[in-house]
Amino acid sequence: MRLSVAAAISHGRVYRRFGLSPRSRLDLLRNLVTALVRHERIETPWARADEMRGYAERLIDYAKRGDKDERAMRMADFWLTEKDLIHKLFKVLAPRFQPHAGSYTRLLQIPNRDGLDRAKMAVIELKGNPLPPLVRPRRDSDRTLLNQLLKGYRQDAQRARGT
């Protein structure tokens, strides 16, 4: 009897199970969302970051409605345990993401945790944060064939323009 395959089929359920109960799962994710809003870049196990991403983006969508909205304020009050961050959410993050339609966060995987569990870790950050960038986009080296040919073409064009 192959019980493991049957256990891996979720039958359409998309929410992961964390903590002791559904209430505890929401509390865990709430702490992570508060930390993200406070520090704008956090390092957590990948599964928690992935789960938290959806909630963080929906929270920002609610914040975009403005702080006069009753429902938006109740949501922010529940999701942010540190109440000074409510001000930051409505006054700093909502205007920052107003031009964007969605995808306000970036999720990148990092090497496994050093402890005994070797958990798959990830960094989740809000885009447009003031910290130094995580990924530096690298240009191709100048020594590749294509780049040398392009350089030659550019020099010829310049010489032709000059004379």
Binding residues (CB under 8 A) for other proteins: these are 12, 15, 22-23, 26, 54-55, 58-59, 62, 74-75, 78-79
Which two three-digit tokens encode residue 134?
């995580």
Q: At closest approach, how far in Å is the CB of 151 from other proteins?
A: 49
Task: Compare residues 23 and 136 and give the one whose CB is closer to other proteins.
Answer: 23
Nearest Cα residue to 127 out of 155, 151, 99, 146: 99
Q: At closest approach, how far in Å is the CB of 82 from other proteins?
A: 17
Residue type, 78: F
Sheet holding 105-110, edge to edge: 41-45, 121-126, 105-110
Which two three-digit tokens encode residue 37?
């809003």
- Residue 67 C-alpha from the chain's centroid: 23
Residue 93 CB neighbour total at 10 angstroms? 21
Instruction: Give the C-alpha separation, 101 to 104, whole Å.
Output: 9
Task: Compare residues 54 and 128 and give the one whose CB is closer to other proteins.
Answer: 54
Task: Compare residues 21 and 98 and give the one whose CB is closer to other proteins.
Answer: 21
Task: Compare residues 28 and 119 and give the one whose CB is closer to other proteins.
Answer: 28
